[in-house]
Structures are given as structure tokens and as C-alpha cells.
A and B are shown apart, each in its own frame.
Chain A
Amino acid sequence: MNAQVNGRALVLEDVHKSFGKLQVLKGIDLSVAEHEVVCLIGASGSGKSTMLRCINLLEPVDAGRIVVHGEEITARGVDVNRIRQRIGIVFQAFNLFPHMSVIRNVTLGPTEALGMPRSEAEALGDELLGRFGLADKRGDYPDRLSGGQQQRVAIVRALAMQPDVMLLDEVTSALDPELVAEVLNVIRELAAGGMTMVIATHEMGFARDIAKRVCFLDAGVILEQGPPERIFTEPQEDRTRRFLQSIIDAGRM
């Protein structure tokens, strides 16, 4: 394994994934540095979610490899549970556990996957909930919370595992517009804290703001990537231009 791969937080090499006859990823190459924030943009069905799910090993890849901090996680025989403990993922639909209180949602991973003592996990959970303005919600059940609060809890739940990398899969898409900001602020804070993140998003303004690099996915490949200033102002590819134009036409940028 060469040094270029070893020194990176996350590397994808020629990753392919199909569902039946439908080819969703057709050779994805991506290299993410430590503390880097990469945003994935592109139309629905372009492969953003599938790519994130592959990195978390929720979907097995068909070909290619994925390396996290020097370890090839797509190799045969790796312990998927151990890998997932290092890679946090947050979903569009929150997916909190409805039968557990907020604090239990947050401590379940640390206690049951990492074997952390309950008291220690609760201390960590309380600290994180406090940091993101959720301290008074610790005993509530998810049904009682607003969408924005639920999504913040979901982010805290992933953070409580103290992951090396965070994957965010359109985490604001299911939210009412007035609740989007509170979630984006949480993500900004994570970026400021140096968290390595790969973020699939439709919030172009946010992507421009937070990303060090923006990748435009189209039909299962990264068609174009670069710093947000360049991608959003002078995209090289015709497809990228058309995608951004459609976003502008829809009044979303």
C-alpha cells in the first residue's frame, strides 16, 4: 500500500456497485484528507447515498476497494462491526430508536458496541447533548421531538462513537425549512472542530460554505470535483452546468 493511500483519512478506488442490472456506481475514485470536508452534489439517483452506504459497509461493493486510515475495509474477512464503529453515518430520515429515550439512543452504541461502562457513556452523551443544545431532552422519547431536534440527536448518536469519519446522507432533506438551519449549524461546528466528513447534500449554499471540495456525481461517477468557488462559478463540464442551472431555476441557490 503506497504512502499516498496510507496518509489519507478515506480513499475509494474504482468502486463499483450494482443492484441487479442497475449499475449505480461505475468506478468511483475519491481521496479525502484528514479534517477535510467533502460535499457530494448531484441529482437524485446519481449514486450519492449508495456511495455513503458503501463506505459504511451497509452495502457490499462489487469491485474496487475502500481504505480508511490505511486499512482496507473492503478486504475479505474484516470485522464489519469494528469498521462501522469508526465511521459514523447519519441518515435523511433520522432513524432514531423510538422505544428508547434520547440518552439511551446516544449511549446504546458506546455501551453495546464499544463495551463502555454505562456511567461513562452517559457522561459522554450528556456532554454531547449539552454541546448541541439538547441537554433538556435527554429523558424524552424521539416522537416528542421536532424533526430538527431528532436529527441533532441522530448526529450526537453517531458522534458518541467517536468516529474517525462522519458520513451525512442528505440530513436536512426531510426537515421543514425553518428547521434546516439548526442542523446545518451543528455540522458547521463539527467541521470547525476538525471532523473529517463526507456530506451528500442538496443545500448548495451550505456546500459552498462548508466544503473544502465539492464533487459532482452524475450517473455513478464523479464527473467533476474541485474547490467550491470553481465548481459553483466556473464548472468545466456541461452536465455540471446544467445541474447547477436547474438548481438555480428551482430557486434553491
Chain B
Amino acid sequence: MSGPPELYQSQSGDPPLPTGERGSRILAPLRAEGARGVAIAVVSAMVFFTVVIVAVLSSSGWPEIRRAFFDGEVFREAFPKIVDRFGLNVFIFVVAEGLVLAMAMLIAVLRSLHGPVFFPLRILAAGYTDLFRALPTILVIALLGFGAPALRLSGVPTSKVFWAIVALTLVYSAYVAEVYRAGIESVHPSQVASARALGLSRRKTLRFVVLPQAIRRVLPPLLNDFIGLQKDSALVAFLGVTEGLRESQIIQFENFDFTPYVALALVYVVITIPQARFVDWLVARDRRRRQTGVGV
């Protein structure tokens, strides 16, 4: 029997190419080129980016752009304030993410229940995902954030942050439930048959055999949705809650300068990239473990 087809044939003497590693597609071809190739790549990149930077900096509009978006003084003043208010975004999305993980799982499991008795639950779960994937997030936030406190019912919280978290949880649970469901359905039926044949109940089959495999497979798309949720925490500004975006806007009004937005943009970039690398690392670790066999 022959092994799997070689996807990348490396020339003799060249170092073997990493195959199927996430995130290596930009650098991997360089390694194949050898030292001379790397040198060419470095020089080429330096020349290219120097030309681009010089072209931008010497353009007639650059001083204007710089004043409006990259004002160092405004940045130094605004950045700490924005980071401080961004703490509220972090609170909102961390709480919402925790709730989404649990609620989406519940919906996905309800939707995968077998048997005619569970028909109403399946309908409910399907209707839920259809509804909340259809509605714009900002509409749900407005509806609950403005609407619920306006009821003035006793026992109904009036905090806009509370309702913002509820709104984000409702919307993102619909997306994440679909991600989970795709993961659950991707586990081959023979795995279920195997577990049931051992005498495991449906519930234990789900818990020990289906979900662990499903969740491993959906980690990257799950992170996608979480990054979306983190960014959408800025929509809460619409309710007048002073989180990162609202704070940036306030400073912008004070200075007639857009640098605060750039500062906030920087914060988002800085928190997002490590998460993407973290998931790459998790996926790679899982793959390594399955193929090298350490631990029990």
C-alpha cells in the first residue's frame, strides 16, 4: 500500500516543506527557495515597502491626513482613556462569550434530539436560530437596550449594559449553535454506532464521543464568531453607554480629530491577533498529540 500522495514534492537537498500547517503559507515558499531566495525576498520587500511609504509621505494630502488621524499628542492623551473604557467592552464580551458557549450548546443539542416527542423542542431551536440570524445585531441591541428598561416593570433590570449583554448573547448564540451543529453532524455515524454498541446511552455518547470531536473541529470557526462578537461590543455605544467607541467619539468631538478612532482600532487589532494564533496553536497541538501519542 502506498502512503498519501505527496502534495509538495521538494527537490533533493531542499529542506522538507511543512505540509498542512496553518499560517505557514506566506513563509513556507521562502524556505523552499533556500538562502538565495530568502535574500531576494528580503531585498524585494524592503524596496517595495520603502517606495510605498515614501509615496504616501510625500503626497500632497499627507500633512492633512496625519493631523486628522495620526496626531501624536492627541493619541497620548486619548489612548489611556480609551483603554480604560475598553475595559467595559471586555466585560461585556467576556460575559457574553461565556453565556453564548452554554446557550448555543443547548440549542445545538436540542436541535439534534431524535424522536417525535422532541419535535416542539427542535422547532423551537430551529426557529430561534432563524430569527436571530435574520435580525441586525444593532436592532436587537436597540430593541432590548432601549425597550426593556422603558417598560419600568418591577424585577426587570434597567441597566443598558445588562440588556446589551443579553442582546449580544441572543444573536451570537444563534450563530454559534449552527457552528456546533455543523461540528456535531461532521462526526461520522459509525462513531455513534461504536459507542452505542458498547452500551453507552445517547447522552453519554454525545458527551464522551460526539461533542469532544465536534468541538475540536469547530474551534477555528468558533473563534471567528467570538472575534465578531468582540467587535460588535462596540455597537453598545449606540445605547449611549460609554465604552471604547463612545469614549473615542467624545474625545473626537473635543478635538475635532480622528486619532482616537485610530487608537481604538489599534486596541482591537492588538487583542484579536493573539487569539487567532492561540487557536492555531491549539489545533496544531491536538494534531501533534494524535499523531505522536503522548499522555493517556
Contact = CB atoms under 8 A, between A and B. Distances in A.
A96 B293 CA distance: 15
A108 B200 contact: yes
B293 A113 contact: no
A84 B201 CA distance: 10
A140 interface: yes
A97 B197 contact: no
Interface string A134-170: 0000111101100000000000011001000000000
Interface string B213-228: 1001000000000000
Contacts of B22: none
Contacts of A83: 199
A81 interface: yes
Interface stretch (A8-16, A21-29, A87-95, A238-246): A87-95
B209 A113 contact: no
Interface string B74-112: 000000000000000000000000000000000000000
Contacts, number: 82
Contact of A101 (B191, B208, B212, B293): B293
Nearest to A137: B293
Interface residues of B, number: 26
Most buried by B among A81, A82, A83, A99: A99
A235 interface: no
A85 interface: yes
Contact of A98 (B197, B200, B213, B292): B213
A109 B199 contact: yes
A234 interface: no
Nearest to B289: A141
Nearest to B200: A113
Nearest to A140: B293
A249 interface: no
Nearest to B194: A95
Interface in B113-171: none
Most buried by A among B194, B201, B293: B194
B295 A97 contact: no
B283 to A, nearest CB: 13
A132 to B, nearest CB: 18
Contacts of B208: 108, 112
Interface string A46-83: 00000000001010000000000000000000000111
B290 A141 contact: yes
A183 interface: no
Nearest to A161: B198
Contacts of B213: 97-99
A95 B190 contact: yes
Contact of A104 (B194, B216, B296): B296
Given A95-B193, A108-B198, 12 more contacts: A58-B197, A81-B196, A84-B198, A97-B194, A97-B209, A103-B296, A104-B296, A108-B200, A112-B208, A114-B199, A141-B289, A144-B291
